[in-house]
Chain A
C-alpha cells in the first residue's frame, strides 16, 4: 500500500544520506522524497512516499525512527491529510494546439508561467493523480519536459508534526 511518511530530521550534513542509504540497504521502495528546511533552522522536513505491505511499512517507520538524526515521524496516510505536488511542464504550443493547451491548463487550474512563440511552460499543483491526469489529458500534444517536485504532505485538522 502507498504511504506518505513525514519526518522532522536534524538539519545536518549526512542526514539525507542516512535516510536514502537505509532505503537502499534494506531494499525498501521510494516513490518520491522531498526535503527542505523548516521555520526552525535546526530542523529539516522530509516527505517520503513509499509502498509495501503493512509489515514492511512498520519496519520502515521503525528503522527510520532508529536513526539518531530522525527527531519525529508520522505516517500521514494513517489519518486525514493533504498531499500536494508541484509540476512544471514545457509543451510545444503552436497553431491549433495553442488555444487548446491553454484551455486544458485552465481546467486543471494550471498557470502558464512562461511563453515563447513555440512553447508554453505550465505550473500546476495538486495530488499526484491530478498531475497524472493532466499529462494524460494533453494527449498527443508534444510534451518537451516534465519536472515534478515529489509529494509534500500535511495532516488535516489540528494534528501537527512538530517538536
Chain B
C-alpha cells in the first residue's frame, strides 16, 4: 500500500516505538499534522513555543533514556528550536528533530518561512539530513534514531520539504541500518584496560571522576561495584550526579567550580585519576595549567575526540563506560590482590581532613529563607526520589549540591550550554516520561520567566509538576560574579517589575503559594507534593545576598577554592586554604 510522506513520518515514528512527540504546527508541517490527526499511536504534545518543544523532548530523553522527538515547522519554528537543539548537543542527549521545510522547488528562493535549516543547525547537531525523495524518508528516520542514540548520543535533525510529505511511495520501516562511515566502538582495548587496572592497583592516592557518560551509558551498576571493590573515592561532575550514590561514604560530592572542597582537593592531589564519561570541561578543571599536577590519567570515553582534547592522558580507552568498567572489574577480581585497604588508608585520612571543613555548611539559623534549606527540605519531602529538573544559575548549583542523588536520570539540567528557560519545559518531558513520579522544577525568578508560557502546556496535559522558585529578585549567579569580580556594580542583574507568581500561576489555572518564612518551607513543600493532581507554583522569597560556595574562580586551580566566609565574617572571601 502506498503512503504519503506525511503518513510515512507518522508510521516510522510509530514503528520506531515512539510514544510522545513534542511540537508546534505551521504551514510547511501541515501535511504531517494532518497525518497525526488521523492516528492515535503517538501522543502529540502541543507546546507554546518551539524552544519548549526541544527542551521537553530533551527532558524526556534524559529521564527515560529514549530519544526525545520534536516536530516543528520551517523558518521561525526551526530558529526557535535551535536553542533546545544546542542544549541537547552540548550534553550529548539523544533527540530526533523533524523540521518541516518549504517545498523542494522553493528552497533557495527566500520563500515564506524559509531558512537554511541544515546550515543553521549543522554546528549543533550530531548529524542532519535534508530529505529529497519520499523513497528515502523511512530509511532516513531509521538512520536518525540510530545515530542519535548510539555511540556518544546527540540530536539529529531531519529537514523534510512540504512536497515530499505529499508524495506517495511504498512503506516499510527498515529493521536495521548500516552506515558504512559510522561504527561507534563499544568495548575497550584489553591491553589498555590491563594497564589501567595495574595503575589503579599500584596507586596510593587514587581518584575516580565520572560524568554524564555513566548516565548515558547506563553504567551506574558497573561504576558502583568498581568503586566499592577498590574502596576508592569517587566524585561526579554536574552532568554525572546520580551515577554514584551520593549517600555512599566513598562519594566526595560534585567537583569543579562549585564542587566540594574534598572533591577538588582529591583531584588536585591524586596520583592516579580514573576519568570515565567526562570531557574535562573548563568548569570542572579550572585552570588547566594547575590541574591535577601529579596524576597519571586514565580516560575512558566512547568519543575518541574527548580523549586528550584538554589534558594529556596516559591511558586512553575508547569504549562505552559499562563494558569497559565491567572488564576492569573482572581483571581486578582475577588478580586477587588484597593489599589495597592499607595502602590507601592514609589517603582517606587526608580526604577526611578536607571533609572536616564542611564546605557545604550554611547558616541554618537565618531569619530569611536560605535557598540551600529549601533544597534540603525538598529532598526530605520527596525522600530523595523525585525527578529534579533545574534551570540555570545559583539555584541549579544549590540543587546539585544539596539534593543528594542516589539514582541516575533523576537530575535533569542544562550543564554544557547553561540554558536559562530549560527547567520548566524539561520538567514537562520528565513528567510525561514518568507520569506517576514526583517531578520538581527547581528554578529562579529570572529563569522561569524565559519559558513561562509552558505553564499553559502543563495545564492542557495535566502535568502536576511542583515548581520550586528560589526568588531572590536577582539573576543570582550574575549578581554573585558582579559582587566578586566587578566591585559590586550590579549591572542589569536586578529583576525589576516581577510578576506576582502566585497570581500568574493561578491565571494559567494552577495553584500558587508564596512562602517567605523559614518555618513555612517544609510544610509548604510537603503539602505541595501531597497534591498529586495539580501543578503548584511555590514562590520562595529567599536571601538576596546568598552566594554559591565553595567556588573556584575562573583561571584558578582546584587547590585555590574560595570557601564560605564564616557567619561572623572574619574569614575574608579571598582566603585560600591550600
Are A70 and B308 in touch, CB under 8 angstroms?
A: no
A59-B305 in contact given A13-B130, A25-B123, A68-B147 (Cβ < 8 Å):
yes
Chain B residues contacting A71 (CB-CB under 8 Å) are 180-181
With both beta carbons as reference points, the residue of chain B lying nearest to A55 in the complex is identified as B308
Please tell me if A103 contacts chain B, counting CB pairs below 8 Å.
Answer: no
Are B305 and A163 in touch, CB under 8 angstroms?
A: no
Please tell me if A79 contacts chain B, counting CB pairs below 8 Å.
Answer: no
CB-CB contacts of A46-74 with B at 8 A, as 1s and 0s?
Answer: 00000000010011001101101111000
> Which one of B130, B181, B308 has the highest number of Cβ atoms from chain A below 10 Å of its Cβ?
B181
Are B181 and A58 in touch, CB under 8 angstroms?
A: no
Please tell me if B418 contacts chain A, counting CB pairs below 8 Å.
Answer: no
Chain A residues contacting B303 (CB-CB under 8 Å) are 66
Please tell me if B358 contacts chain A, counting CB pairs below 8 Å.
Answer: no
With both beta carbons as reference points, the residue of chain A lying nearest to B143 in the complex is identified as A68
Please tell me if A21 contacts chain B, counting CB pairs below 8 Å.
Answer: yes
Are B309 and A59 in touch, CB under 8 angstroms?
A: yes
Size category of the binding interface on chain B: 10 to 19
A17-B147 in contact given A10-B181, A59-B309, A62-B304 (Cβ < 8 Å):
no
Please tell me if B118 contacts chain A, counting CB pairs below 8 Å.
Answer: yes
Are B118 and A66 in touch, CB under 8 angstroms?
A: no
Please tell me if A18 contacts chain B, counting CB pairs below 8 Å.
Answer: yes
CB-CB contacts of B101-123 with A at 8 A, as 1s and 0s?
Answer: 00000000000000000110011
Within 8 A of A (CB), among B295-341: 303-305, 308-309
Are A14 and B182 in touch, CB under 8 angstroms?
A: no
Chain A residues contacting B179 (CB-CB under 8 Å) are 68
With both beta carbons as reference points, the residue of chain A lying nearest to B118 in the complex is identified as A14
Are A62 and B305 in touch, CB under 8 angstroms?
A: yes
Are A21 and B123 in touch, CB under 8 angstroms?
A: yes
Q: B301 → chain A, closest Cβ, in Å?
A: 11
Chain A residues contacting B182 (CB-CB under 8 Å) are 68
Within 8 A of A (CB), among B471-513: none
Please tell me if B44 contacts chain A, counting CB pairs below 8 Å.
Answer: no
Within 8 A of B (CB), among A100-138: none
With both beta carbons as reference points, the residue of chain A lying nearest to B156 in the complex is identified as A68
Are A58 and B308 in touch, CB under 8 angstroms?
A: yes
- Rounded to whole angstroms, the CA-CA distance of A157 and B147 in the bound complex is 36
- Rounded to whole angstroms, the CA-CA distance of A55 and B444 in the bound complex is 41
Are B130 and A65 in touch, CB under 8 angstroms?
A: no
Are A68 and B181 in touch, CB under 8 angstroms?
A: yes
Chain A residues contacting B180 (CB-CB under 8 Å) are 71, 163
Can you list 8 A-B contacts (CB < 8 A)?
Answer: A17-B119, A17-B122, A25-B123, A59-B309, A65-B304, A66-B303, A68-B147, A68-B181
Q: Which 5 A-B pairs have the closest CB atoms?
A: A62-B305, A71-B181, A68-B127, A62-B304, A63-B305
